[in-house]
Chains A and B, each alone.
Chain A
Amino acid sequence: MKNENQQAESREIVISVRNLNVSFGDLSVLKGINLDVYKGENFVVLGRSGSGKSVLIKTIAGLIKPDEGIVNVLGLEVDKLPVNELQKLRLRLGFIFQSSALYDSMTIRENLEFSLIRNFKHMTTKEVLRAVEEVLDAVGLREKINVMPADLSGGQIKRIGIARTLILRPEILLYDEPTAGLDPITCTEINQLINEVQGKYNTTSIIITHDLTCAKTTGNRIAMLQDGNFIRLGSFAEVFDQSDSRVKDFYDYNFIQ
């Protein structure tokens, strides 16, 4: 354990959160969160619905302004960045939304091209198409290139959401409930894909979920969020050591489900 801690300390921190407080009106959602995410790891944030998991990654992505605290991503303080600098940072930071948020008026090809042709103007049409085909191959959906998002299944939509993010070659991926609303077999496929992406593209990820299988399969480290703060942090075995009634309830509920 001590050795692991020493190893962790020697690794590069890519996301650092200190004393993060976020509230909406009178409702305090995050209460003094502290977090370090190391380069190349999959960090899972577990918690019940409404515990503030999505708020945490949206704050890290700069989509929500914190009331207090410091959010540092790749050495840059997110909430202090001017708009153009924030846009540059977002090219290195991918966000996979719970609903995938595909542009429903565009085909899959247009969805994937959209950010590429606007951010890399020097790319030729052939290069853009090659990049699109490459990420579609990575998620196993090349044949869907000219299909509209409405014609895809839930699992395929999740995969295209991941592909749309991967096309910009981000260093960090933020997954918001990647397996929500999917059947167990598709969940397993998505979990495998998350691990494949980590291996192939050498990305650092924060994965928000309440699915224990997803957490166990994909997470290098896991944190349990409850009432606006982390109550447990460590490996899957360390978090679910069954001595804490709060995590035991969560474990039992998932197991029964």
Chain B
Amino acid sequence: MKRSKEFVFTRRIDAFFQDVLNIHRFITRFFKELFRRPFEFKETIHQCYVVGVKSLLLISLTGFVIGIVFTKQSRPPLVSFGAASWLPSLIGIAFVRAIGPLVTALIAAGKVGSNIGAELGSMKVTEQIDAMDMSAVNPFKYLVVTRVVATTVMLPILMLYCTFVGMMGSYFNVHANELTSLTTYFQSAFSSVSFLDVWSAVIRSFFYGFTIAIVGSYRGFNATNGTQGVGKAANRAVVFSMFLIFAEELVAVQITNWIHGL
């Protein structure tokens, strides 16, 4: 039977609003379960290790390379205006306000979000989540709450680490050209960074972490159709969380600028 275009279109709209409603229910359930005993401390610590320590290498490499590349690309226009000495300040502002939080969130969406989506999706389609339910263990609490808490807590820490590594990458380039000392470089870099900038980045990272883990868990927890469904869950977890991160970044920039009085 051939379905009309209108039918397919309305079905997609229907599915979209159903998804929005289900995500809302999923988040509500998360907050209910978060404060309900028993607390899975051991599993939460394990997830912090998985999210944090196992992402360090990728974050280090990406942050360092971005630091070098960003400095190399920014130098020529600043030199042509005779403002090469402003380079550390520019790096400081760029990394603390935008690059650090955004790069960390996007890497985490790719690595952590897809991992959560695939892991929970695989558990769902192989009935391991049902098995947990049948063992009188709340799978939502054990699988979702632990991962969301761990990602939300670890992302700001990873962001601060990424910012530091990126600025170190930038320092190597600055030092190679201007022989600036590390102390002078950091003094100059942080001279234009306010306390509000740092707090704004930390708070944004909290939200990014929550978004990545909730989306990944939701997609994994609702995976269907066998191994194909697992792949779809992981893919959708990354795409949807990246989209939300950019949307949140836009809102965050508006709010921060409003507080700055810009």
Chain A residue nearest to B130 in the complex (CB): A63
- Where chain A touches its partner, the secondary structure class is mixed
Distance in Å: Cβ of B42 to nearest Cβ of chain A = 10
Chain B interface size, under 10 / 10 to 19 / 20 to 34 / 35 or more? 10 to 19
List, in ascending order, chain B residues with CB within 8 A of A94's CB: 134
The reply to whether B134 and A93 contact each other, CB–CB distance below 8 Å, is yes
A240 CB–B CB distance under 8 Å: no
* Chain B neighbourhood of A63, CB < 8 A: 130, 133-134
Q: Which residue of A lies closest to B133 (CB)?
A: A63
Q: What 0/1 readout, one digit per residue, does chain B (126-141) give for beta carbons within 8 Å of chain A?
A: 1110111111111000
Instruction: Say whether A217 faces chain B, with CB atoms less than 8 Å apart.
Output: no
Is A97 a contact of B135 with CB atoms below 8 Å? Answer: no
Residues in A with CB closer than 8 Å to B133 are 63, 90
A35-72 residues at the B interface, CB under 8 angstroms: 58, 61, 63
* A101 touching B136, Cβ below 8 Å: no
Interface membership of A201, Cβ < 8 A: no
User: Number of A interface residues, CB 8 Å?
Assistant: 24
Instruction: Tell me which of B38, B123, B130, B138 contacts A97 (CB under 8 A).
Output: B130
Query: Which residue in B38, B127, B137, B138 is a CB contact (below 8 Å) of A101?
Result: B127
**Please, how many angstroms separate the alpha-carbon atoms of A114 and B136 in the complex?**
10
A115 touches B128 (CB 8 A): no
Q: Please pick, from B132, B136, B138, the residue contacting A168 in the complex, using a CB distance under 8 A.
A: B136
A99-B126, A101-B127, A103-B128 known; A119 and B134 CB under 8 Å? no
Specify which chain B residues have a CB less than 8 angstroms from the CB of A58 in the assembled complex.
130
Taking a contact as CB atoms under 8 Å apart, the answer to whether A115 and B126 are in contact is no
* A103 and B137 contacting across the interface, CB-CB below 8 Å: no
- CB neighbours (8 Å) of B132 from chain A are 103, 114
Task: Say yes or no for A175: interface residue by CB 8 A criterion.
Answer: no
A109, B131: Cα distance in complex, Å: 16
| Contact indicator B134/A61 (Cβ below 8 Å) | yes
Q: With CB as the reference atom, state the residue of chain A lying closest to B127.
A: A101
Q: Are B135 and A101 in contact (CB under 8 A)?
A: no
Among residues 127 to 167 in chain B, which have CB atoms less than 8 Å away from a CB atom of chain A?
127-128, 130-138
**Would you give the 0/1 interface string for A87-106, flagging 1 where the beta carbon is closer than 8 Å to chain B?**
11011011101110111100
B134 CB contact (under 8 Å) in A90, A103, A104: A90
Closest to A58 in B: B130
Cβ contact within 8 Å between A95 and B38: no
Select one of A99, A104, A115 contacting B135, CB under 8 A: A115
Whether B136 pairs with A87 at a CB distance below 8 angstroms is: yes
Name the interface residues of A143-172: CB closer than 8 Å to any CB of B: 164, 168
Report, nearest first, the 5 A-B pairs whose CB atoms are least far apart: A115-B135, A101-B131, A101-B127, A95-B134, A87-B136
Interfacial residues, chain B to chain A (CB-CB below 8 A):
38, 123, 126-128, 130-138
Subset of 9 A-B contacts with CB under 8 Å: A63-B130, A94-B134, A95-B134, A101-B131, A114-B137, A115-B136, A118-B38, A164-B131, A168-B135
